[in-house]
Amino acid sequence: MRFALALVLTFITCQGLLGSAIAKNYDGLQDKHASVWFSEEDPAMKRDHPIYSVGCKGRYCDNIQLSYYDALKTGSSWESAKYSEEDGKFTCGFGLVIIGIKCSGKYCDNKNYYCARPSNFQIDSGSTYVTPWFSDERNGRSIGGKNYGVQECDPGMVLYGVECSGSYCDNMKLYCVSFKYEHALAGSPTVTQGFLSQYGTLIIFTGIFAVIGYFLGRRSANKNMHVEFDGQNIELVGN
The pLDDT score that the predictor gives to residue 231 is: 57
pLDDT: which is higher, 222 or 160? 160
The pLDDT score that the predictor gives to residue 149 is: 87
The pLDDT score that the predictor gives to residue 148 is: 75
Judge whether 145 lies within some domain.
Answer: yes
Longest dimension (CA), the chain: 108
Instruction: Please give the tally of structural domains in the chain.
Output: 2
Judge whether 185 lies within some domain.
Answer: no
pLDDT in tens, 126-156: 899 999 999 987 765 544 555 678 999 999 9
Answer yes or no: do 144 and 230 share one domain: no
Judge whether 92 lies within some domain.
Answer: yes
Judge whether 89 lies within some domain.
Answer: yes
Answer yes or no: do 159 and 79 share one domain: yes
The pLDDT score that the predictor gives to residue 128 is: 94
Judge whether 138 lies within some domain.
Answer: yes
Answer yes or no: do 12 and 48 share one domain: no
Lowest-pLDDT choice from 6-20, 124-138, 217-231: 6-20
Mean residue pLDDT across the chain: 76
Identity of the residue numbered 145: G
Residue 169 CA to residue 164 CA, distance in Å, equals 5
Judge whether 191 lies within some domain.
Answer: no
Answer yes or no: do 35 and 109 share one domain: yes
Answer yes or no: do 174 and 231 share one domain: no
Answer yes or no: do 13 and 125 share one domain: no
Nearest to 156 by CA among 136, 188, 128, 132: 128
Answer yes or no: do 126 and 213 share one domain: no
Answer yes or no: do 79 and 175 share one domain: yes
- For residues 219-238, average pLDDT: 53
Domain hosting residue 107, numbered range? 31-180
pLDDT in tens, 85-106: 899 899 998 899 999 999 999 9
Judge whether 189 lies within some domain.
Answer: no
Identity of the residue numbered 232: Q
Answer yes or no: do 8 and 99 share one domain: no
Answer yes or no: do 7 and 118 share one domain: no
**Among 56-60, 142-146, 160-164, the range of highest mean pLDDT:** 160-164
Answer yes or no: do 13 and 71 share one domain: no
For residue 135, the 8-state DSSP code is B
Answer yes or no: do 138 and 208 share one domain: no
Residue 186 has pLDDT above 50, yes or no: no
Judge whether 151 lies within some domain.
Answer: yes
Question: Using 50, 70 and 90 to split pLDDT, how confident is the model at 25?
Answer: very low
Q: For the chain, what percent of residues have pLDDT higher than 70?
A: 60
Helix (H, G, I), strand (E, B) or coil at 132: coil
Residue 41 has pLDDT above 50, yes or no: yes
